[in-house]
């Protein structure tokens, strides 16, 4: 099963990230929006058992990345 887009996060400074979650593998991915025509690669942000947890995991990943 492919990862499903579950939301977007504005990480400040005009950076918007799309959050994807694979419910079977429990993997959370973030991808920077905009930029090149082909888009940015997805980065694995961690794991989560529920969609709400996936959004919090992505937020924490982006916060720690700055």
The Cα–Cα gap between 52 and 37 comes to 30
Q: Express each pLDDT in 8-20 by its tens digit.
A: 999 877 889 999 9
Give the pLDDT confidence score for residue 65 in this predicted structure: 79
Note whether residue 47 is domain-resident.
yes
**What is the total count of domains within the chain?**
1
Q: Quick check: is 65 in a domain? A: no
Distance between CA atoms of residues 43 and 47, nearest Å: 12
Quick check: 6 and 21 in contact, CB under 8 A?
yes
Distance of CA 35 to the CA centre of its chain: 16
∠ Cα 33 24 5 (to 5°) = 20
- Give the domain range for residue 29: 4-59
For residues 7 and 51, give the distance between their C-alpha atoms in angstroms, rounded to a whole number. 10
User: pTM for the whole thing?
Assistant: 0.87
64 in a structural domain: no
For residue 66, tell me if it sits in a domain: no
Residue 19 lies in a domain: yes
């Amino acid at each position: 099963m492919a990862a499903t887009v579950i939301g977007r996060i504005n990480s400040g400074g005009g950076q918007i990230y799309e959050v994807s979650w694979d419910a079977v593998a429990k993997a959370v991915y973030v991808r920077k929006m905009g930029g090149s025509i082909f888009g940015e690669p997805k980065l694995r942000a961690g794991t989560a058992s529920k969609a709400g947890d996936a959004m919090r995991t992505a937020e924490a990943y982006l916060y720690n990345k700055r």
